[in-house]
Chains A and B, each alone.
Chain A
Amino acid sequence: MTHKISLTINGRPYSDEVEPRLLLIHYLRDVAGLTGPHIGCETSICGACTVMLNGRTVKACTMLAVQADGHSLTTIEGLAANGKLDPVQEAFWNEHGLQCGFCTPGMILAVKQLLADHPHPTDSEIRHGLDGNLCRCTGYQHIVNAVKAAAAKAGA
Chain B
Amino acid sequence: MATVVAITKTAKPEPLVGKSIRRREDPRLITGTAVYLDDMKMPGMTHAVVVRSPHAAARIKSINAKPALDLPGVIAVFTGADVKHLGSVPCAASLPGLRVPFHHLLAQDRVYFSGHPVAVVVASDRYIARDAADLVEVDYEPSAAVADPEKALAAGAPAVHPEWPDNVAFNFHQDGGDIEAAFRDAEVVVKQRITSQRLIPTALETRGVLADWRAGEKSITLYSSTQIPHLMRTMVAGILGMNENKLRVITPEVGGGFGSKLNVYAEEALMAFISSKIDKPVKWVESRRENFQCTIHGRGHVDYFELAAKRDGTMLGLKLKLIQDIGAYHQLLTPAIPTLSVLMMPGLYKFKNIAADIVGAFTNAVPTDAYRGAGRPEATHGIERMVDILAAELKMDPVEIRLKNFVGNDEFPFATATGLSYDSGNYSAPLRLALQQVDYESLRREQVEARKAGRLMGIGISTYGEICAMGPSAALPAGGWESATVKVEPTGKVTVLTGASPHGQGEETTFAQIVADELGVDIDDVVVIHGDTSVVQYGIGTFGSRGTAVGGAALFEALQTLKAKVRKFGAMLLDASSVTLAGGECIDEATGKSVKFTEVAAAAYHAKKLPPNTEPGLVATHFWEPPNFTFPFGSHIVVTEVDRETGAIEIRRYIAVDDCGKIINPLLVAGQVHGGVAQGLGQALWEQAVYDDSGQLITGELTDYALPKAHFMPWIESSHTETPSPVNPLGVKGVGEAGTIGCSPAVVNSVVDALSPLGVRHIDMPLTPEKIWKLIEGGRA
Contact = CB atoms under 8 A, between A and B. Distances in A.
Interface residues of B, number: 59
Given A45-B703, A93-B22, A40 B710 contact: no
A128 interface: yes
Interface stretch (A52-60, A63-71, A75-83): A75-83
Nearest to A125: B711
A99 B505 contact: yes
Given A41-B288, A41-B701, A101-B26, A127 B713 contact: yes
Contacts of A105: 30, 32
Contacts of B668: 96
Contact of A76 (B32, B673, B739): B32
A72 B504 CA distance: 32
A143 interface: yes
Interface in A91-132: 92-94, 96, 98-105, 108, 123-124, 126-128, 130-131
Contacts of A108: 30
A100 B505 CA distance: 7
A6 interface: no
A135 interface: yes
Interface string A27-58: 00110001111111111011010000000000
Nearest to A140: B710
Contacts of B253: 100-101
Interface stretch (B160-168, B201-209, B531-539, B760-768): B201-209
A79 B30 CA distance: 10
A126 B707 contact: no
A73 B25 CA distance: 27
Interface residues of A, number: 58
A134 B203 CA distance: 10
Interface in B1-31: 22-23, 25-31
A42 B288 contact: yes
Interface string B674-701: 1111110000000000000000000001
B670 A102 contact: no
B203 A99 contact: no
A9 interface: no
Q: Which of B39, B202, B709 has the most CB of A within 10 A?
A: B709
B715 A99 contact: no
A141 B674 contact: yes
A138 interface: yes
B716 A104 contact: no
B491 interface: no
A85 B203 contact: no
Contacts of A141: 670, 674, 713, 715-716
Contacts of A100: 203-205, 253-257, 503-504
Q: Which of B25, B126, B675, B710 has the most CB of A within 10 A?
A: B710
B712 to A, nearest CB: 8
A139 B677 contact: yes
B127 interface: yes
B38 interface: yes
B667 interface: yes
A118 to B, nearest CB: 14
Contact of B31 (A36, A43, A131): A36
Contacts of B504: 99-101, 137
Contacts of A79: 31
A131 B709 contact: yes
Contacts of A98: 26, 29-30
Contacts of B25: 101
B248 to A, nearest CB: 23
B769 interface: no
Contacts of A89: 30-31
Nearest to B125: A30
A123 B711 CA distance: 9
Nearest to A134: B707
Contact of A127 (B29, B38, B258, B710): B710
B36 interface: yes
Contacts of B675: 99, 136-139
A75 B204 contact: no
A75 to B, nearest CB: 7
B505 A143 contact: no
B35 interface: yes
Contacts of A30: 126
B238 interface: no
Contacts of B31: 36, 76-77, 79-80, 85, 89
Contacts of A24: none
Contacts of A17: none
B282 to A, nearest CB: 16
A138 B205 contact: no
B436 to A, nearest CB: 22
B259 to A, nearest CB: 12
A139 B256 contact: no
A48 B702 contact: no
A31 to B, nearest CB: 11
A133 B272 CA distance: 34
B702 A134 contact: yes
B29 A101 contact: yes
A136 B203 contact: yes
B520 interface: no
Contacts of A75: 32
B73 interface: no
A80 B715 CA distance: 31
Interface in B700-740: 701-703, 707-711, 713, 715-716, 739
B54 interface: no
A98 B36 CA distance: 15
A12 interface: no
B32 A136 contact: no
A122 B223 CA distance: 43
Given A21-B127, A38-B38, A130-B710, 6 more contacts: A35-B39, A79-B31, A101-B504, A127-B711, A137-B671, A141-B674
7 contacts: A46-B288, A77-B32, A93-B22, A96-B23, A96-B668, A98-B30, A100-B204
Interface of B: 22-23, 25-36, 38-39, 126-127, 202-206, 253-258, 285, 287-288, 503-506, 667-668, 670-671, 673-679, 701-703, 707-711, 713, 715-716, 739
